[in-house]
Each structure stands twice: as C-alpha cells, then as structure tokens.
Amino acid sequence: MRRRAVITLALAAVVVAGCGPGASPGGSVTDTAAMQAIADRIRGSLAQRPDVVSATVVYQDSVTAPAQAYLTLAVTAGTALDPLAAEATKMVWQSGLHPLRHIDIRVADTARSRGAHVVWDLPKDADQLTAAYGPRPTSS
C-alpha cells in the first residue's frame, strides 16, 4: 500500500509539473525568457519604423494561452494598415518563437479611428503562411 501511495504521488508531481508555466500543451517545456527575448526583438524592430508610434509584442505559452504571439501596433495617421500587419506577420512567422500555434496582430490608426486585425491559426493557416513567407525555422 505504501508503494502505491509513493507511485501515485510521483505521478501527480509529474502531471502538475507538466501544467506549470512554460509547459506547452504538447508536453514540451518552453524557455519563457528566451521566447520573450525574441518577442522583444520583434517589438524593437517594429518600434523603429517611422510609421509606428508604439509596439507591444507578447509571447505566451500556458494552459489558457497555448503558444500564442500577440502584437499591438499604434501607427501615425494615414499609415497603410494591411502592409504593416503583413510585415508583422512575416517577422513572427520567420522568428524563433516555438512553439507557435496562434498569431494575433492589431494595428490601430487612432487619429483616424480605423484599424486592422489579423488572426492566424497555424494548424490551419501554415500552408498559406509558408507560401507567403517561406518555411518556419525549426526549433533547436
């Protein structure tokens, strides 16, 4: 009976560890700091553009937000929104963010009360993204 309790506790610890921060639904462990560093580089590249007023890029990989990149860009009045959303998509797609299942990009021209919202579901949209931007880099 004692052996069964020890095995049960050991299995419970493995299950709980697999559900913690940085654990992706596929069971792999995400290096959260490394992924956020990649997201920060994407943010920095976008923020340097003269038509971007502010940029936020967040990578999450948790039970409630599995392998997702969220981008929010505020732009100067009159900026073409769709090309900027496409450029942001390309940057995320070609980045080392892994795992990646979902890309959500919002571009807002608040001076003109208009915006663009692009959502990519990689399990469904990978072929389209590969055709447009080439293959994703493999994770190391």
Of the candidates 98, 94, 39, which has an alpha carbon nearest to the alpha carbon of residue 72?
39
Of 89 and 62, more confident: 89
pTM above 0.85, yes or no: no
* Opening angle at CA 121, ends 116 and 123, nearest 5: 160
Among 70-74, 109-113, 124-128, the range scoring the smallest mean pLDDT is: 109-113
- In the CATH hierarchy, which fold is given to the domain comprising 31-133? GMP Synthetase; Chain A, domain 3 (3.30.300)
- What is the pLDDT, as a whole number, of residue 140? 56
- What are the structural domain ranges in the chain? 31-133
SS3 87: helix
pLDDT tens-place string over residues 28-41: 556 889 999 999 99
Mean pLDDT value across the chain:
84
Torsion sign across C-alpha atoms 30, 97, 61, 41? positive
